Amino acid sequence: MSFYERNGIIPYINAHDTYTVYGGSRMADNTLQAMREAAESFVDIRQMQVVLGEKAARMTHNEAAFFTNGAAGALLLCACVCMAEDSEYLYRRLPETPGQKKEIILMRPQRNAYDTAVRVSGAQIIEIGDADETLESELEGRISEQTAAVFYFASSLYRRGSLSLEQTIEIAGKHGVPVVVDAAAQLPPRENLWRFTEAGADMVIFSGGKTLCGPQDSGIIVGKKKWIDRCIRFGAPEHGVCRVSKTSREAMAGLYTALENYMAADEREEDEKRRKIIALIEGRICGCSDIMDMEIVERGPVGQTYSRLFCYIRKEKRAEEIVRKMRERRIYIGYEEEKNAIYISPLNLTEEEALVVAEALADISDGN
């Protein structure tokens, strides 16, 4: 009997995407093995952080790297080090910020649920732009002695109305203000691990629990040594506000191994595996009565380079209804209400699971 069965927890197949509420992504055997091995002995957590950080940085073509408990924890730490810079006094006082530099600039089209992680640092969020556009002159004009950083969310969902990252880095750089990029879910392509830092970003954040297939509670900040040194100095296990988002040796070992796997994988092969899974499902549900049309969309939900299978549902039926029925069969799928479409992401599916998804979907879309 499995752990879930023994404890009355319902397991699902994830044909939707890497969402935290479903448990994120799946770790490889060697990742789990590394976590087991890490658990067996005690270490100096600070030494482990520094050694693995240096190796992870080299592996991803970055100057330096720091492991966190997730991208949200990384947002908090980045905000804190941007405000405290080299002052232990200022860091330890956070989230109290009297008389110190505390403004973090965000573009209004990029405001999202995760920027709470920036606010809990004690930073004051300064919004620029509107839903339609952000002017270079507004970013330039808002930067002052009070500005601690500009945070940039790299998701394709927020591109409309935002300055480009290049424009942002150029303007902030001119004033000596650091730019932090949240690229939590921006993989693949693999080159994103170094593309934003090469463009001049000071710190770039990735979630470990999404496409990297590390532990759900892991993440990494890559970037300039000057800033990562401050993350090492002030981040967990040190006391202060970021102690609430500490990282374990198991999570570091897991994410480090997942990163090794990710860097070693053949991107073309991975793409072919995902396409095979899509073809398998497409072949089985083709011709089902509720499905009007199918399309392979060559992008993930936030602009990643992997394909998804979209099925457009006939007008008389609601896509949401199909999602609900799939969920009753313990399968998560995605949907887009305005298109009356459901979609399948191959990201977290094994071939075996894909067959189960295909059978269930064929059955439901034939009116059952």
Ligand X SMILES: *Cc1c(COP(=O)(O)O)cnc(C)c1O
Query: Which residues of this chain interact with ligand X, rule CB under 6 A?
Result: 20, 70-72, 114, 153, 155, 182, 184-185, 207, 209, 219
Tracing tokens 């092969």 back to the chain, one arrives at: 269
Peptide bond into 215 cis (omega under 30): no
Is the CB of 21 or the CB of 131 nearer to ligand X? 21
CB of 213 to ligand X, least distance (A): 12
CB of 70 to ligand X, least distance (A): 3
Is the CB of 72 or the CB of 213 nearer to ligand X? 72
Q: Which residue is nearest to ligand X (CB)?
A: 70
Is the CB of 129 or the CB of 209 nearer to ligand X? 209
CB of 358 to ligand X, least distance (A): 28
End-to-end CA distance of the chain: 31
Is the CB of 65 or the CB of 357 nearer to ligand X? 65
- Contact criterion met (CB below 8 Å) for 220 and 259: yes
CB of 311 to ligand X, least distance (A): 25
CB of 75 to ligand X, least distance (A): 6
Tracing tokens 């100057």 back to the chain, one arrives at: 63
Query: Residue 117 and residue 111: Cα distance in Å, rounded?
Result: 12
Q: Edge-to-edge strand order for the sheet containing 291-297?
A: 291-297, 308-313, 341-344, 334-336
Query: Residue 203 and residue 260: Cα distance in Å, rounded?
Result: 21
Is the CB of 97 or the CB of 207 nearer to ligand X? 207
Q: Closest Cα to residue 199, out of 166, 228, 237, 175?
A: 166
CB of 66 to ligand X, least distance (A): 14
| Amino acid making up residue 7 | N
Query: Residue 48 and residue 232: Cα distance in Å, rounded?
Result: 11
- Backbone dihedral angles phi then psi of residue 232, each to the nearest 5 degrees: -65, -40
Query: Residue 142 and residue 163: Cα distance in Å, rounded?
Result: 14
CB of 209 to ligand X, least distance (A): 5
Q: Closest Cα to residue 319, out of 302, 335, 296?
A: 335
Is the CB of 253 or the CB of 281 nearer to ligand X? 253
Is the CB of 138 or the CB of 182 nearer to ligand X? 182
Is the CB of 147 or the CB of 207 nearer to ligand X? 207
CB of 329 to ligand X, least distance (A): 26
Helix (H, G, I), strand (E, B) or coil at 295: strand
Helix (H, G, I), strand (E, B) or coil at 210: coil
